Amino acid sequence: MEKITVIVPCYNEEETIPLFITEIEKVYDSMHEKYDIDMEYLFVNDGSKDRTAEVLEEYAAKNPRVSYIRFSRNFGKEAAMYAGLDNSDADYTVIIDADLQDPPELIEEMYRILKTEPEYDCVASRRYTRTGEPPIRSWFAKRFYSLMAKISKTEIVDGARDFRMMSRQMVDAIMSLSECNRFSKGIFSWVGFETKWLAFENRERAGGQTKWSFWGLLIYAIDGVVAFSTAPLAVSSIIGIIFCILSFIGVCFIFIRALIFGDKVEGWPSLACIMCFIAGIQLFCNGISGIYLSKTYTEAKRRPQYIAKKIHRGTLKDKKDEE
Ligand code: UDP
Ligand code: MG
């Protein structure tokens, strides 16, 4: 019998968890009929401030497929996915959002592909529309993906979701990357393996609210760039070289002009502007180095990715035995 673990990061999802469980149970029933599989739903309660913990406890008490990890505080979705993968011992591992924006019924299709097309180690999903999303957010997201395509060797697919099913081997490869600053979209791609993409239309949340603010996403995008590209460092060096060359030309020009026309003291306002401009560029480039340095600092501390307050594992038995 093969085991599928479905990792569900949850932060304030009291409204959506019951809806999610109803849907995933349908998927389980349908798959259980056709294949010799067992399923575990591993909810990672990422320090929710609402009744998520109680809701999970209630479900875990009556459903042996429900497992959960409760964090000591909010560590973020990246940490929640890491904790799920860290605790998954299944043959196939799925990551899915709790809000039903990722269609659970695709899990069956993902499993079928991995079983019938052995060249694939992963079936991932991408949405081909962004309907229902604020236009400004879509615009920045598009810019981010096209920028990443230019400055990073790691391919990050536009519209790619974290929703995917992975083989044991791929999960082990992901866990062998021990970095603290985790940007999963990049990590999934960096480890390689053959990935099949399933496209679906964007869906709205089943309930509750998105946890992403505009600034949160911007910082996440910067994290992604820093984690998978050193191009900004190279750009700051190139800007430095360009300014050296320009100033050398300027010095030559002023020197020759002084020899021919004499040296009149003039033009200090423009000089002040130029100095301010260059100081700005210097601070900007310093900032870029600073971001990389701060990432190195957090890596050097080697703090754990998450702290679990409680781990409950379901007992996983055949549904027929439950009755
Ligand atoms: N999430 C989480 N920790 C956080 C923020 C979000 O575990 O700090 C979970 C959330 O419960 C959901 C998933 O990550 O299952 C995606 O979050 P959300 O729907 O808010 O993001 P969006 O779909 O708007 O990108
Ligand atoms: Mg969502």
CB 180 within 8 A of CB 299: yes
Tell me if 38 CB under 6 Å of ligand 1.
no
Question: Taking ligand 2, which is a single-atom ion, which protein residues have CB atoms under 5 Å away?
Answer: 97, 99, 101
The Å distance, Cα 35 to ligand 2 centre, comes to 30
Q: For atom 24 of ligand 1, which residue has the closest CA?
A: 210
Give the model's confidence band at 322: pLDDT under 50 very low, under 70 low, under 90 confident, else very high.
Answer: low
- pLDDT confidence of residue 205: 80
pLDDT at 281: 86
Q: Per-residue pLDDT tens for 54-106? A: 999 999 999 999 999 999 999 999 999 999 999 999 999 999 999 988 999 99
Q: What is the pLDDT of residues 269-278, one digit of tens each?
A: 788 888 888 8
| Cα torsion through 204, 205, 210, 214, rounded to 10 | -10
Of the listed ligands, the closest to the CA of 216 is: 1
Q: How confident is the model at residue 317 (pLDDT cuts 50, 70, 90)?
A: low
Alpha-carbon distance 31 to 13, whole Å? 26
Tell me the pairing of strands 122-127 and 160-167: antiparallel
Distances (CA, A) of 115 to 91, 224, 272, 296: 11, 32, 68, 41
pTM of the predicted structure, to 2 decimals: 0.82
Q: Is 45 in the pocket of ligand 1 (CB under 6 A)?
A: no
Q: Is 11 in the pocket of ligand 1 (CB under 6 A)?
A: yes
How many residues does this entry show for the chain?
Answer: 323
Please tell me if the CB atom of residue 99 comes closer than 6 angstroms to any atom of ligand 1. Answer: yes
Phi and psi, residue 56, nearest 5°? -65, -40
